[in-house]
Amino acid sequence: MPSSPLIMTSVTKRFGTFTAVDNLSLEVPDGQIIGFLGPNGAGKSTSLRMGLGIMEPDSGEVELFGARPNVRALQQVGFLPEERGLYKKMTARDTISHFARLKGLSAHDARTRADELLSAAGLEEFSRARISKLSKGMAQKVQILSTLAHRPKFLILDEPFSGLDPVNQQALEDLVRAEHARGATILFSTHVMEHAERLCDRIVMMARGRKVLDGTLKEAFATLGQGARISVENGFDLSSALGPKGFEAVRTTDAGHGETWRIDLPPGREAQDALRAAIEAGAPITGFAPEEARLRDVFVSLVGEADAAALAASLAEDEAA
């Protein structure tokens, strides 16, 4: 079996004059959880749909389990699309078993698996309820269960956390971890960086159709210079005080009770070193905080404020939904 369930090489997709995905190369190593990040419109869903063979790329190549996407390879894949939808008149149990059968399970196994999953998800009593009678959250759970019913080797989840309340988001995170522990490779797209931070081994960042980062979390954070924030009072010039000691300080805010400076940490130096240097320089310190880098900061540093604003807009849309 190939070590990478999905390999995309120099894939481009255009819609008229608009380039949705531009020369994307991506490899999803077996057994990993990969986060596919970026704001709405960054090209994530189009990339995933090309990866699944739903759409043909205009150029480039896609290999799913070592071949062009085909039904046999897709039987090993569980896909949760961004735009959720089920047959409203089907029952929860029939829905899960129908999709499981389409993925190759026998009628008996599909029904047994549906019962098992519904029971595990606490939806046993709704197993014979029509999808139209379920709440939106429950229907979404049923769709997620349909994606998992055939125990896929490779899970592709497009914005899986979108539309879920915090409790169900946590439950889904647990489910992703459980599937990963079972041995599944997982690729999920999101514009909520926190989920990726908590779950992913690797992340791929997209902006305006182009890949801007592909690496581990550590590698992602390494793209940001580390820093610390020190607040001082009485207009103390921290830049002059720390400059000779090898730290660059930039005044960021004046909060009324003093000024906060952001200190760039040179490679090999820690936040504590900057604090010690400031004390030694006699700075009247009122606050100190080592800077915790977030993926959002990585994203901003890579793509700039314009795309970061698009990301914020995506989050706002998600919250509104």
Partner 1 sequence: MRNILLIFRRDYLGYVKAWGFWLSLAAVPLFMIIGAALASFAAQSSPVRYYAVIEPGGIYAEAIEAEFQRREMANAERTSELAEQLDLPVMSEDEARAAAEGASIASRKFIPVPAPADSIDGLRPYLLGEKLVSGPLGDKPLFAAFVLAEDGGELEYWSDDVNVDQLRYLAQDAMLRLARRDALNKAGLGEDFLQKVDDNAFDVPARRIRTIEEQDATGAEVTMADRAPMFVAGGLAYFLWLMVFSIIQYLLMGTIEERSNKIFDTLLTSVKLPELLAGKMLAVFAVTSTMMLSWGLFAFAGGTLVATQIPGVGSIIEPFLATLANPAIIVPGLISFILGYIMYGMIFMALGSLCDTIQEAQTLLSPMMILLMLPMFAIFIAFQDPGSPLVDIASWIPFFTPFLLILRMPHDPPLWEVLAQMGLMAGFALLILWLSTKVYRAGAVHGAGIGDMGGMLKRMVGLKGKAV
In the set 11, 36, 49, 172, which binds partner 1 (CB under 8 A)? 49
Q: How far is the CB of 46 from partner 1 (least distance, A)?
A: 10
Q: Which is nearer to partner 1, 71 or 250 (CB)?
A: 71
* Residue 176 sits in the site that holds partner 1 (CB under 8 A): no
* Residue 88 sits in the site that holds partner 1 (CB under 8 A): yes
Distance CA 234, CA 197 (A): 39
Residues 5-34 that bind partner 1 (CB under 8 A): 14-16
* Residue 163 sits in the site that holds partner 1 (CB under 8 A): no
Residues 90-109 that bind partner 1 (CB under 8 A): 90, 98-99, 101-103
* Residue 144 sits in the site that holds partner 1 (CB under 8 A): no
Q: Which stretch binds partner 1 (CB under 8 A): 76-84, 213-221, 256-264, 310-318?
A: 76-84
Question: How many chain residues touch partner 1 (CB under 8 A)?
Answer: 29
Q: How far is the CB of 101 from partner 1 (least distance, A)?
A: 6
* Residue 79 sits in the site that holds partner 1 (CB under 8 A): yes
Q: Which is nearer to partner 1, 16 or 166 (CB)?
A: 16
Residues that bind partner 1 (CB under 8 A): 14-16, 49, 52-55, 71, 74-75, 77, 79, 81, 83-90, 98-99, 101-103, 143, 146
